[in-house]
Amino acid sequence: RGTLTRAHSMDWCLIESDPGVFGELVHRIGARGVAFTELYSLDVDELRRNEPIYGLIFLFKWRGGHSSSAVEVDENPPQDLFFASQVIHNACATQAVLSVLLNAEQEVELGETLQTLREFTLDFDAETKGMSISNSDIIRDAHNSFARPEPIVLQSRPAQEDDDVFHFVAYVPRGGSVFELDGLQRGPINHGSFGDGHWLDVAVPAIQRKIASFASNEIKFNLMAVTKDPRIAISQRLEELRSSSTGAADEIAHLQRELEVEEAKVAEWRNDNIRRRHNYIPLVFALLKEVAAAKKLTEALEQAKKRAEAQK
């Protein structure tokens, strides 16, 4: 969440909620073996097909003075729970991603930057942890690598009530309970213990309550799971089958096709990110000049106005 701006010197740019964006983001920061999967159902059994799931990232339309669906923050969370206040504009996406990774340190290869950050800030309060994230050149540069170069810079202004401003929060299991980590809250929100069950059994109802707190016509939500990169398990299984003496040609062929699909998906995300960073404005200007030279610009403008009016 933050001001609407396109200036990117020491600011943090707006980034999309997208598996390819988050995947490249964490790779640039140094984490490995992590993938992001968009979820289209809140059915727990469906979600568990993506296991292991390290955490969930939930995107929703921000409302001024919004409060969580939980009553209050946990004043005595587990000591090793990583929670950081959001102290900078537009950083909530990266902060939600880091909130999941830094609370899955036993399962995820964090890399030097995040491992050092977690150890260095272990005894810090939430505000100082947030400042530590904002002061990390590596994290900020990875985040801002998705900033598109703009020849036209809009003046920054505070977000208004009718602006579409979105916010990211994370849901993670820690110490037998599910915590909602929202950098705009005073602290982590404990949604309860999952006991001998699965942490998603607690996380999903918490997300459903948050969705229900919005107006019935609000549909702008996005949910993403932070998981183990599926290519790792596929590659490991292929290696096992190839080293065994038993014939498993059909399964090997099937796994090879699965691996190819995953590799193609990552390659497409890489291409999407290249297009996100590209500055298309010079192309648009050139096209407008050509249309104007052909004396068709006024006609095209009038047609566009009519279409816009018809869509109101």
Q: Is 263 helix (H, G, I), strand (E, B) or coil?
A: helix
Dihedral sign for Cα 165, 18, 85, 184, please.
positive
Report which of 14, 36, 147, 159 is spatially closest to residue 97, judged by C-alpha positions: 36
**Residue 53 pairs with which residues in a beta bridge?**
227
**Do the beta carbons of residue 80 and residue 124 sit within 8 Å?**
no
Determine what percent of the chain falls in helix, strand and coil, rounding each to the nearest 5. Answer: 45, 15, 40
User: Catalytic residues, which ones?
Assistant: 92, 167
Structure tokens, 257: 């096709």
Going by their DSSP bridges, the two strands 53-61 and 34-39 should be labelled as: unpaired
